[in-house]
Structure 1
Amino acid sequence: MPRRDGIPDVPTVLVMFLLTGPVLAGLAGTALPAFGYLPALGHDTLSLAPFRQLAAAPGLAVSVLLSFGTGLFASTASLAIVLVFAAGWAGTATFRRLNRFLSPLLSVPHAAAAIGLAFLIAPSGFLVRLFSPWATGWDRPPDLLVLNDPYGLAMTAGLIVKEVPFLLLMTLAALNRPHIGDYLKAGAGLGYGRMTSFFWIVLPQIYPLIRMPMLAVIAYATSVVDVAVILGPTTPAPLAPRLVEWMNDPDLDRRLMASAGALLQLAVSAGALFAYLGLEGCARTVLCRRYASGHRHLRDTAVRLASLAPMVLIILSMLLALGLLCIWSLARSWWFPAPFPQKLSLLRLLDTASAAGPSLLTTLALALAAALIATALTLWLLEARSHRNRPERGRYKTLVFLPLLIPQVSFLFGLHMLFLLGGLGGTFAAVLVAHLVFVFPYAFLALGDPWRRLDPRYARAARSFGAARLRVFWQIRLPLLLRPVLVTFAVAAAVSVGQYLPTLMIGAGRVVTVTTESVALASGGNRQVAALYALLQLVIPLALFSLAAFFPALLFKNRAAMRLER
């Protein structure tokens, strides 16, 4: 029965506890040491000494600017690429074909994509090999600082390559609304060009739906660790990787400075969010003025073709990066400037894979457990809220996105301290809880829209025949939503596989996954081992996405026989 007294139901309380509890506790556990209070290390009085120590750290201003600039630019550039592409090609066959490539790329973890991109653009990478020595004259790798460049250009490119598929998926979900196609036709009927109709009519309606994911992307990009370690500058590094280094320093007093830095990272990400909101306001003002001009921009063919180039480049880069991971995992010898390996070895691959077995099993256990709990809790929450009189979607959407809007490094430090005090530091259960904080928002995001679009008349018809609420869920809703549920499970598992910082911090080195190993190996000299570990990150997501694609077709292969003959 619907709740009429305004008291939250059980799944809502669980979600609130799961999302806000660790975040608020972690922020408190970070703020107290930042002000000098950490009794476990003998600091039992409040002090500003950690902030003074942080201010004296060399290169701090450069680290802050790197985090702010690369994160904000990568996020806004990704959104611009997606919106311009959608404006020029939404609803076309080209749009559908490119989406088939971009959607699977969403399951590629950030670390694996960054390692593959490093193999592609490094001075001894595939692109240089492809044109050497016949075009460049180089018979040895050039002395060029492409990776880990001081301006973070490689890091920015890596973030754009990974964030574009996510933002495109959010845009596709927003475009899957009634009458969007009719609005474009109405704009064309009034003499407006295709892209002008999109920006003038469609974008104001769908932008509120993609605004929250965009803010989450900014918060992540300004505080990313794994991509920054692989592709980012090192002298100095962006702020978040330096905080992790200070937290793991043998000098335990550095943890106080790291906690102060975590609050600084929170301020940096908040500043980037406010800067984006300011840019959003400027863009709104400009568009409103263009609305009043009445200019129709009918001839937009050149702009449409130009909007296709960045998307094609991103797809080709990702495909080449993933292909290089496969080749390097098999390469026994591959000397510069040969474009392809001189020798391939399967035995070394098998030896390395067997050594990676324990970390792969840990990754699989974490991914399956987190995905199962997150998917089940999402179904429970959606089912409970579907029977309430006032769903209050806006409030709960903000609540769900809360862990994604706060930099991980800002509260994982404190959460790690609390787990240590509770005797749970470095345990599988603690890492699983940390994963769930970040996995559940993506599960809710993936399943929420298909759930709301399900025709409610199926459930009403079943209830009219006296079917109980639980029976309606198991025999009506769940079979109809089997494919979205399986896709949600695969998305949740992929997010869990890609969790680097929660595993590193909460696991305390005792819980090792292929993601933490691949990031550690990326800075080493053995490209074959690094490629193999990066490739192992793709095994679980690809297997689950394949299951989500083929299992419903096999389970309901006779459903076509139920269709009426025409």
Structure 2
Amino acid sequence: MLALLPPATLFVFLAPVLVGLAGTLLPAFGYLPAIGAHDLSLAPWRDLFAWPGFGSALRLTLSVGVLSSLLSLAGAVALVAMLSGTRAFGRVQSALAPLLATPHAAIALGLAFLLAPSGWIVRLISPEWTGWTRPPGDLVTIRDPYGLSLVAGLLTKEIPYLVLALAAALGQVPAQRLIACARSMGYSRGSAWLKLVLPQLWPQIRLPFYAVVAYSLSVVDQALVLGPGNPPPLAVLALRWFSDYDLARYLPASAAGTLQLGLVVAGLVICRLAEWGVGKAGRLWLERGRRSGAADWLLPVAAVPTGVVLAAGLLALLALAIWSFAASWPFPAALPLRWSLSAWAGAGERLQGSLGTTVLIAAAATAVALVLCVGCLEQEARRQRKPRNGLLWLLYLPLLVPQIAFLFGLQVALVRLRLDATLPAVIWAHLVFVLPYVFLSLADPWRALDPRLARSAASLGASPARIFFRVKLPILLRPLLVAAAVGVAVSVAQYLATVFAGAGRIATITTEALTLASGADRATIGVLGFTQTILPLLCYGLALTLPRIVFRHRRGLA
């Protein structure tokens, strides 16, 4: 039975991606029989290139993707290099947990409340410092034509993710010993970290960084809130055309999705070539042996803005909470004049339906992902054979392929199977993204379990099933719960997967929040955004607290 789980797992999360890509590529070249398009042609590409805002949309996509990816990598490296090996690093990781758990859409909504011309920052400094008694009409701080607010939104999510990846990789590298050795030879701490530690960390954070690049080049949820609307980024343009009542728009939309895939592939190839070039330059830098202290002032210069961005992200979450309880908050008051639960009461019906659906989808997708991942890891342990590196690339495939490039094709397949707009279809679409994160969260703790425990139980006559349920699962309860919390957070954050697989008829908290994002009812948006934030945090809290309760008399397990 266990032997069937690895191929079943690969099928569950790879089949939708491959089928979806085929279902998007064919319409991109004019073949979509469902709408009467039977002849292959380049007409969809001509329509895409002829759209008046295509050039601006393409430039915006590239500039936002490149800038946010590079800044997030530089910021994460600078922050970890400055703080690793100190007590402050643990506190910073704890402070970043809310940003890691919060969906991208909720972060974007909070930043919109924070950075808008009538937002919290302007309110805090007005009118004393600005003289403004009304929101400035000529100040563009969100949805700016250059996408800078979108870059800020991406940084608040990508930097914590890369910091977490670097922190995990640091556990496998003797960083402090390497730094001490280099300092004994006259190198500064910053230079030692960049010359000796970072090159050993890079192979372990390469795939997480590639996932950041892919997401930055194809972001939709944050772009709907923080990105410019006319022209929008390429992925948002494709989504608009996919949602258009004119079915003929599906063909240029598929071309835009295919182009989006090409941009991501090109971006990853360029990253790989850049690695080679930076590696060559780094070896020359090492061979020259110069002992300049430039890194010691460059790292703080990069770390300080990083801290500002992360602080802004935490303030954005606080702004969501405040707006959800604000009954009267006129400009330029720094805080609401009256507090009330009226927004929560008013959003009760909408919240009740979408919250129940969100929890059901997240719980189902996470449960299936846990069963498949645990089965694969147990099969791996019994065979005593670790998977090849190629499997890791397969796990990251759903994270590297732009969602807009395959979810429409997946929707076409679901329509043919008469599964579109059903909960099982949405759960499966979420599972495509939940499963890789659950596996990556659980794999290292499972593989680190001392095999002598199972051998000791077997020597006492315990069967493999009894060892699994009575030895392994209790010991690994905390990692299992943390992996489940990660799965729930990933599922709650899904927007495009819900829209396409649900055909726009299944509402979750995320789809409801983004539907209302352009509205004027900030209190209701705050309720939905704050609920998006609280749900994953509650799951993480349970994951950390429950083992302490269950194993309160067994210190080693708690």
Fold match by TM threshold 0.5: yes
* Separation in 1, partners of 2:548, 2:518: 43
Per the alignment, residue 235 of structure 1 pairs with 230
Q: 2:313 aligns to what?
A: 318
Amino acid at match of 2:18: L
Change (3 A) 1:475 1:307: farther
Does residue 101 of structure 1 match 2:95?
yes
**CA offsets per residue over residues 383-440 of structure 1, 9 Å max, x none?**
1112235423301101111111100000001001111111111111111110000111
Deviations 1:336-367 (A, max 9, x none): 11111122221332231343110010001011
Contact 1:37 1:46 in 2 (8 A): yes
2:511 is aligned with 1:516:
yes
Taking only aligned residues, the RMSD between alpha carbons, in angstroms, comes to 1.9
The 5 A counterparts of 1:367-382 are: 367-382=362-377
What is the aligned counterpart of 2:6 among 12, 32, 43?
A: 12
Counterpart Cα distance in 1 of 2:307 and 2:3: 46
Give the corresponding residue for 1:453: 448
Maintained 8 Å contact 1:19/1:402: no
Are 1:157 and 2:152 matched, yes or no? Answer: yes
Does the alignment pair 1:115 with 2:123? no
Q: Which residue does the alignment assign to 2:127?
A: 133
SS at match of 2:327: strand
What one-letter code is carried by the residue in structure 1 that aligns with 2:51? Answer: A
Which moved further from structure 2: 327-336 or 175-184?
175-184
- Displacement, 1:302? 4.0
- What is the number of equivalent residue pairs in this alignment? 557
Name whichever of 334-343 and 490-499 sits farther off.
334-343
Q: Read off the aligned partner of 1:547 and give its amino acid letter.
A: L
Matched residue, 2:403: 408
- CA 1:481/1:186 → structure 2, altered by over 3 Å: closer, same or farther? farther
Match of 2:183 in 1: 188
447-456 or 34-43, larger mean C-alpha shift: 447-456
Distance 1:464 1:198 in 2: 47
For structure 2, the residue ranges without an aligned partner over 5 or more in a row are: none
> Which string of whole-angstrom CA distances, capped at 9 and with x for unpartnered residues, describes residues 471-525 of structure 1?
2222222222111110100000000000011101111111100100101111111
- In the alignment, is the contact (CA less than 8 A) between 1:68 and 1:272 conserved in 2? no
Matched residue type, 1:35: F
* Structure 1 stretches lacking a partner, 5+ long: 2-7
2:158, 2:114 → 1: CA distance?
18
TM-score by length of 1: 0.95
- Number of the residue aligned with 1:438: 433
Output aligned runs, 1:400-549, within 5 Å: 400-549=395-544
Q: CA deviation at 1:122?
A: 0.7
C-alpha contact 1:124 1:141 (8 A) present in aligned 2: yes
Partner Cα separation in structure 1 for residue 342 and residue 139 of structure 2: 34
Task: State the AA in 2 paired with 1:135.
Answer: W
Task: For residue 94 of structure 1, report the CA deviation from its aligned partner.
Answer: 1.3
**Contact preservation (8 Å) 1:331, 1:341:** yes
Partner of 1:223: 218
- For 1:487, the aligned partner's letter is V
1:179 aligns to what?
A: 174
Q: Distance in 1 between matches of 2:555 and 2:243?
A: 58
Name the CA distance, whole Å, in 1 between partners of 2:154 and 2:8: 33
Give the counterpart letter for 1:124 in structure 2: S
Alpha-carbon distance, 1:158 to partner: 0.4
Residue 201 of structure 1: how far off its partner (Å): 1.7
Q: Aligned equivalents of 2:55 and 2:296: distance in 1?
A: 44
Opposite residue 98 of structure 2, the aligned amino acid is P
Match of 2:204 in 1: 209
Equivalent residue number for residue 46 of structure 2: 52
Give 1:187 shift. Answer: 2.4
Counterpart residue type for residue 163 of structure 2:
L
> What secondary structure sits across from 1:332 in the alignment?
strand
Counterpart pick for 1:69 among 58, 63, 71: 63
The one-letter amino acid paired with 2:508 is T
Whole-angstrom CA distance in 2 between matches of 1:333 and 1:289: 62
- 1:5 aligned residue: none
Decide whether aligned partners of structure 1 residues 39 and 352 sit closer, same or farther in structure 2, where only a CA change above 3 A counts: same
Give me the TM-score of the superposition, normalised by structure 2: 0.96
1:441-475, Cα deviation, whole Å (9 max, x unpaired): 11111111222222222222223333222222222
Contact 1:68–1:269, Cα closer than 8 Å, also in 2: no
Does 2:267 match 1:256? no
